[in-house]
Amino acid sequence: MTRKIVYPDADTTSLEILRGERLAKLENLGEVVIYPDVPADDETFIERLSGASAAISGWGLSNPVLAALPDLEVISFSGLGASTFIDIAEATRRNITVTHTLSAASTVAEHCLGLMLDAARNISHLDRDIRRGSWNTSTLGMDLRNTTLGLVGFGRIAAALVPMAQALGMKVIAWTRNPDPQRARRHGIEFTDLDQLLAMSDVVSLHLSSTPQTHGLLNADRLRAIKPGALLINTARSQLLDEAALIELLKSGHIRAAGIDVFDDEPIAADHPYIGMDNVVMTPHVAYNTPGALLEMYDTVVDNLVAFYAGNPQNVASS
């Protein structure tokens, strides 16, 4: 039986990228079927993936979809944070391997830095003022030089952010579940415990995957423990924190400002509290989104399937 590889939820950009050599690599593995839109429901996912041995997905597959696909062997997730969109434990139980991409670290770190600078210097706020006809010269910015950046999590994106922050004159500290003194020395940072990091940092930036262990890590009490007047930057996952508590702390000014690329519900509602808050800078979950990063990401998506069927799985996601 011919192996079937299905991309059930492609978009215009991925259709453009999955051509030429990339498509040829997939076709060497079997029949390739690509659908140019996102299914509206699980039933459509199941219909499109019927008989598939392999799936490429950027939106993830629900447990009911996994249960309805007995032939599925591997999912090559075309993004970051596969565990947020796919139940890795359930996939493993069904003998389905889930792979993910490790690209775009510097790209996301640059976006994080952009949000940090914007939040610190009120750039978006002041831009809106000018467009409304207001020449506001009284709103004070915040220097990042000689401040402390606290990284919650220290994976590839956080590590890529370190030299960018240090170039601005920031001291960098980090919390990770597996602190390594040699790694700290290599990056010129200090590892500390989470409570101390929150109390010491002028900027807190989140860099963790959303897992059962990290969900709600920054609960209301921990958010209240953040140093008064600090910035909070989140390009990771909204599920890491208590969004309602963050909103209240932003309203009170305890947290000076936030730069946010990820939300509890995406897209956010038109009446979401963030919409009316001048101390919140938002982008629509696009921190990874540059041409170079997308090309690298889809190279990895394809190579993950090639490696899997060569008997040497790579970039396997864990729960």
150 and 228 assigned to the same domain: yes
Tens digit of pLDDT for each residue in 85-132?
899 999 999 999 999 997 689 999 999 999 999 999 999 999 999 999
72 and 204 assigned to the same domain: no
| 237 among known catalytic residues | yes
Following DSSP, what letter does each residue of 136-200 receive, concatenated? ---------TT-EEEEES-SHHHHHHHHHHHHTT-EEEEE-SS--HHHHHHHT-EE--HHHHHHH
Confidence (pTM) = 0.88
| 266 among known catalytic residues | yes
Which residue among 183, 215, 254, 285 is the active-site one?
A: 285
Contact between 77 and 99 under an 8 Å Cβ cutoff? The reply is yes
Task: In whole angstroms, give the CA distance from residue 105 to residue 126.
Answer: 29
The helix (run of H) or strand (run of E) holding residue 240 is none
The DSSP symbol for 52 reads -
The helix (run of H) or strand (run of E) holding residue 7 is strand 4-7
| 248 among known catalytic residues | no
How open is the CA angle 106-110-111, to the nearest 5 degrees?
120
Q: Is residue 319 part of a domain?
A: no
Tens digit of pLDDT for each residue in 153-206?
999 999 999 999 999 999 999 999 989 999 999 999 999 999 999 999 999 999
Tell me the average pLDDT across 223-240. Answer: 97
Q: Is residue 24 part of a domain?
A: yes
295 and 158 assigned to the same domain: no
Contact between 82 and 100 under an 8 Å Cβ cutoff? The reply is yes
Q: Is residue 317 part of a domain?
A: no
pLDDT for 56 beyond 90: yes
Identify any residues that bridge with 280 across adjacent strands, giving them in sequence order: 258
Task: List the domain range (segments joined by +) for residue 18.
Answer: 4-103+290-309
262 and 116 assigned to the same domain: yes
Categorise residue 152: left if φ over 0, alpha if ψ from -120 to 50, beta otherwise. beta
- Domain of residue 84, CATH code: 3.40.50.720
127 and 27 assigned to the same domain: no
Distances (CA, A) of 153 to 54, 150, 178, 202: 32, 9, 10, 16
Q: Is residue 230 part of a domain?
A: yes
301 and 200 assigned to the same domain: no
Q: Is residue 276 part of a domain?
A: yes
Which residue among 111, 222, 237, 256 is the active-site one?
A: 237
253 and 134 assigned to the same domain: yes
83 and 117 assigned to the same domain: no
212 and 269 assigned to the same domain: yes
Q: Is residue 314 part of a domain?
A: no
33 and 145 assigned to the same domain: no
Which residue among 19, 132, 145, 266 is the active-site one?
A: 266
Q: Which residues of 8-28 are buried (b: 16+ CB within 10 A; e: fewer)?
A: bbbeeebeebbeeebeebbee
274 and 294 assigned to the same domain: no
95 and 112 assigned to the same domain: no
Task: In whole angstroms, give the CA distance from residue 217 to residue 92.
Answer: 25
